[in-house]
Structure 1
Amino acid sequence: MNFALAANTIRLLAVDGVQAANSGHPGMPMGTADFAAVLFVKHLKHCPANPAWPDRDRFVLSPGHGSMLLYSLLHLAGYDLTLADLQAFRQWGSRTAGHPEYAVTPGVETSTGPLGQGCGNAVGMALAEAMLAERFNRPEAQIVDHYTYGICSDGDLMEGVSHEAFALAGHLGLHKLILFYDNNHITIEGATNLAYSDDVRRRFEGYHWNVLEVDGHDCAALDQILTQARQETSRPTLIIGHTCIGQGSPNLAGQAATHGAPLGAAEVAATKKNLGFPPEQTFFIPDEVRALFNARRQALQTMFDEWTATFNQYRAAHPQQARAWDAAHLLQLPDKLEACLPKFDPAKPQATRNASHSVLQALAGSIPYLVGGSADLAPSTRTYMEGQGSIAPRAFQGRNLHFGVREHGMGAI
């Protein structure tokens, strides 16, 4: 597999998109293109023809300002995102906004932009996978078995919400969460050491994560380390990728100038020449890269078809569980839900938290997929669902989440 050619194609699609818009962030997509190419061409399980496949892997781009990376990947992978959409990057009414928007662009799993937010979202997705697997899997039918991958930046790790979310992920042992840390040592103001000198390895080891390191531009090493990360069975994995912002640019690579501004016409041409692409062509995709992604798409379609056959057998063998699955995924509510709720006498006042508790217990009994939690306040706010058990490390059958004193993380998860 020619990962390097795929990565350079992604780099230059991002460069052209930002240059055409005269606005955007080319540096991060250029620096993470190698990881993204290896992930999408070989490891990520998804189905562009069926973007809502329940058992797809999730990919979260937490530094959403690098959105041209994601849009380039989605276009090459075969989602309903055209080359014209890429050419309309950051234009009014386009499907390729400056930051990814869920439900606007096919294949975007969550809206990202505020740094750190995607970190919490990724933890929530990994937690949902673990909870669904424990509820619905059977020995003969593993209908829930997917990973959550993501990219996080130095800015994400500076945000407090990333600490809250990642600490909880390590505590719970969410081993199907794999994040790539784009360790390029550059922020928009200059070098990260202006304000940031964390020992990221020791920080995440303290969270009980599996921590790996790799040259972020060595595609063979990236392939190996992703395989290694998937072999972890008890801890989330952080891959510290040592990268160069603006990789491929002969004059601007490694500089803060690539973070949040177009490279400029002369440097765009020089970058294309440096990477062996025709300098005069824009949004150029080599036939070999098209063929590479097309072959992967066909393999993924086969995976989807096999899963669908397995799920149909599951539906026939476990009709009650299948109905619960449908209700949860379609967010079905019971008929006459209001009749299930308690009645209150206005003449007998009570604390709102007590009334809320009574309503919550009734809803918990009527909506089996309802889960919830609090930031270490359940005895006070009375948000605990009685008799429904708790989520705990490597135990995901319960319906009550204990977030600890992590309010921001709780919201993001």
Structure 2
Amino acid sequence: MSYTETDKRAINTIRLLAIDAITRSNSGHAGAPMGLAPLAHILFTRITNFNPREPKWINRDRFVLSNGHACMLQYALLHLSGYDVSMEDLKRFRSLDSKTPGHPEPHATPGVEVTTGPLGQGFANAIGLAVAEKHLAAEFNQPGFDIIDNHVYCIFGDGCAMEGVASEAASAAGHLRLNNLIAFYDNNKITIDGSTSCAFTEDVAKRFQAYGWHTEVIEDADHDLQEIEAAIRRAHKVTDKPCLISLKTTIGFGFKRQGTGGVHSGPLAVDDIKALKITAGFDPEQTFVVPEDVEELYQKRAQEGIQKHKQWDDLLAQYSQKHTSAGSDLYRRIAGLLPEGLQKVLPTYSSIDKAIATRQTSGNVLNALQAVLPELLGGSADLTPSNNTRWPSAIDFQPPSIHLGDGNFGGRYIHYGVREHAMAAMMNGVAAYGTLIPTGGTFFNFTSYASGAIRLSALSRVRVIYIATHDSIGLGEDGPTHQPVETLAHFRAVPNLMVWRPADGNETSAAYYLAITSMETPSMMVLSRQNLPQLGNSTVEKAMRGGYVAADVEDGKARITLVSTGSEFCLCIDAALILRNEHGIQARVVSLPCWDVFDRQDKEYRMGVLPDGIPCLSVEVLSTYGWERYSHEQFGLNRFGASGAYKDVYKKFEFIPEGVVKRALATVEYYKDWPPRSPVSRAFQQWNET
């Protein structure tokens, strides 16, 4: 474990590349890259296995920089290691449309695994990556064939350590005994406000010990390279725990103001930079310099990774000859392909089928899919019986050593515990690993706890499926604390997130089919607690368009369109009958289970669903926010709910057929002398732009 002058030069090269890029952009965080450069150099030249020519090699080690503001550290490493991150890319740090954005994003930069920036998220993603590796290893490895055996390495700082999502995820990792995970705590005791002593004085290593982690402390991580590497090697030998290595580093190492809040993200003094370069043996007048011996050192490591990938390919080929079915399935998943005939297994319903809650039709779909989709990995945040997320034959994902029933790492159902935020963030990591499709359930109201991670699902373009049951005042007696009213509007506003609120079983099946087949889009299933009838005119194919006419009338005779979703749709069907039979008014009824998918349809189709000349009334027992895009008038709930039996609560707020009729009559009367344009007839559709 000897270290040479080239290693020291390489560490300084990482630091100075970060400084030069940040100085050039006049934006960024230099402090953490300065302190973490020794660890990062060791990881990328002596520890991690990767192939810069094929960044998506499935058995590569994963590296996550959870304190994503330090991303110039990662960009410098990717450049040195031979990834498609050029010196020009480093010079364009934080510039528009560059490969080096202000925080790491996987779709922007080859070699970045997950999107980090909001603190704690990357740490929880890393635990999801470790879960995925454990599951796939248990599923595919055979004697003599360790096809999946990579490690996950994660760096996090004081900010991540303070965030609740990281604490939730660390607790889960300790329970799951993920010994393939090594996390490095950058213990520099500085945040934006200055010394952490103003807000954070706990012993993080002891906290992680209580979670069930193996812990190591490096007292001088600025200089003691041998001990850093030795600690990692010791961590590799731990067989029953995740590992935390706490490194006491100096933020802004080498600057005059090192170790202070002034070097976290403050401006860099020109004289200070020149002095640092001179001390490191670099020309103070030159920028973006990589010494030849440093370049050769990193190229050598990259070649070693390329060779290891080739050896792995050969091993997988041998594996596939001996284990034909498993090998074929793994190749399929790596290629991102789905089994053929997936749509054929989706449950379908007719109007004569009994009324059941969409949380139950969701469970029926999951049970059907899991039999033909082995990459489906289910779970719930301690609400399994209520969410209907566990199929009857499911085996729990658990460490075999704790002897919980028949649980093992090959199990496909994860008990996330009461950890909604960690569940969502871990699911992002599972999806980012590749070859798996995670689902996770909670009550719709509690997705607000997880909203930070859900937003990153959409930004990261990962295929995760959120199952959100008990979607409205229809959950009844638990009252306003559990009844979401604003939550649907919130998530509908998130770009690249398909939000479904199906009205029956066919719409639920359609929602899952599009969720499974949309490779770069997360989905949210917003589902009822109460039973809903199966609709007479719904089909899976119709629902796949996001919106369709469920009850029409003869051309020219309709005087109003009622548009709705979920549990209120059947109210509109009943209201249309009352309008016709008691008031002589013909009403069209439209189901709009997914706004995002409906918006992708061509204008002719959308105009056919919501045509010109007919006033449109939306009906949804949630906030009316956003419905002006599809209706002229809105009947919703712009206040908190009430505690009581769900039918009583619906009646209190007039979400009954008669309540819909009253508002429909008022709408018809208001628009009788000036037929309106369709709400989808616009000069441009801002929400539909790429």
Q: TM-score, normalised by structure 2?
A: 0.59
Structure 2: how far apart are the matches of 1:96 and 1:262?
A: 19
Residues 8-17 or 328-337, more deviating: 328-337
Offset of 1:281 from its aligned partner?
Answer: 0.8
**1:174 and 2:187 matched:** no
Counterpart residue number, 1:219 = 225
Residues 372-410 of structure 1: per-residue CA shift (max 9 Å, x gap): 100000111110022120011242111100000000000
**Corresponding residue to 1:316 among 301, 317, 321:** 321
Quote the Cα distance in structure 1 between the aligned partners of 2:39 and 2:254: 14
CA deviation string 1:180-212 (max 9, x = no partner): 100001111110011111111210000110000
Cross-structure match for 1:412: 425
Alignment equivalent of 1:329, drawn from 310, 334, 337: 334
Worse overlay, 358-367 or 74-83 = 358-367
Paired AA for residue 413 in structure 2: N
Match of 2:385 among 370, 379, 393: 379
Conserved? CA contact 1:26–1:262, under 8 Å: no
Question: Match of 1:49?
Answer: 53
Deviation at 1:262, TM superposition (A): 3.3
Match of 1:298 in 2: 303
2:362 paired residue number: 356
Separation in structure 2 between the aligned mates of residue 196 and residue 47 of structure 1, nearest angstrom: 39
2:16 maps to what in 1? 12
CA contact (8 A) 1:67 1:99 kept: yes
User: Residue 35 of structure 2 aligns with which residue?
Assistant: 31
Alignment of 1:197-212 (within 5 A): 197-212=201-216
Structure 2 unmatched ranges of 5 or more = 401-407, 427-690
Give yes or no for contact 1:67–1:100 (8 Å, CA) kept in 2.
yes
Shift of 1:266: 1.6
C-alpha separation between the residues in 2 aligned to 1:223 and 1:397? 31
Query: CA shift at 1:366, angstroms?
Result: 1.7
Q: Which residue is equivalent to 1:399?
A: 412
Question: Which residues of 2 match residues 19-98 of structure 1 at below 5 A?
Answer: 19-98=23-102
Structure 1 position 301, deviation (Å): 1.6
Shift of 1:326: 2.4
Amino acid at match of 1:380: S
Residue 233 of structure 1 and its aligned partner are, at CA, apart by 0.9
Q: Is the alpha carbon distance of 1:344 and 1:42 closer, same or farther for their aligned partners in structure 2, counting shifts above 3 Å?
A: same
Q: Distance in 2 between matches of 1:334 and 1:46?
A: 29
The one-letter code of the counterpart of 2:215 is V
Give the number of aligned pairs. 412
For residues 313 and 333 of structure 1, the distance between their equivalents in structure 2, rounded to whole angstroms, comes to 23
**Alignment check: 8 A CA contact 1:24 1:260 kept:** yes
Q: Does 1:192 align with 2:205?
A: no
Query: What letter corresponds to residue 320 of structure 2 in structure 1?
Result: R
Matched, 1:264 2:277: no
Q: Secondary structure at the match of 1:366?
A: coil
Query: What letter matches 2:39 in structure 1?
Result: F
Q: Which runs of 5+ in 1 are unaligned?
A: none
CA RMSD of aligned residues (A): 1.1
Cα displacement (A) at 1:339: 1.9
> Aligned-pair distance for 1:317?
1.3
Contact 1:10–1:69 (8 Å) recurs in 2: yes
What amino acid is the match of 1:370?
Answer: L
Q: Distance in 1 between matches of 2:83 and 2:252?
A: 26
| From 282, 301, 308, the counterpart of 1:277 | 282
Residue aligned with 1:72, SS: helix
Counterpart-to-counterpart distance in 1, 2:195 and 2:69: 18
SS of match in other structure, 1:326: helix
Higher relative contact order (CA 8 A, sep 6+): 1
8 Å CA contact 1:245, 1:258 repeated in 2: yes
Identity of matched residues, %? 44
Q: What's the CA shift for 1:336?
A: 2.9
Counterpart in the other structure of 1:144: 148
Distance 1:338 1:289, change over 3 A: same
SS of residue matched to 1:371: strand
Task: Please point out which of 224, 246, 259 is paired with 1:240.
Answer: 246
Q: Highest CA radius of gyration, 1 or 2?
A: 2
TM-score, normalised to structure 1, is 0.98
Instruction: State the AA in 2 paired with 1:170.
Output: G
Give the C-alpha shift of residue 248 in structure 1. Answer: 1.6
Contact between 1:15 and 1:262, CA under 8 Å: does it hold in 2? no
Between the aligned partners of 2:228 and 2:187, the Cα distance in structure 1 is 14
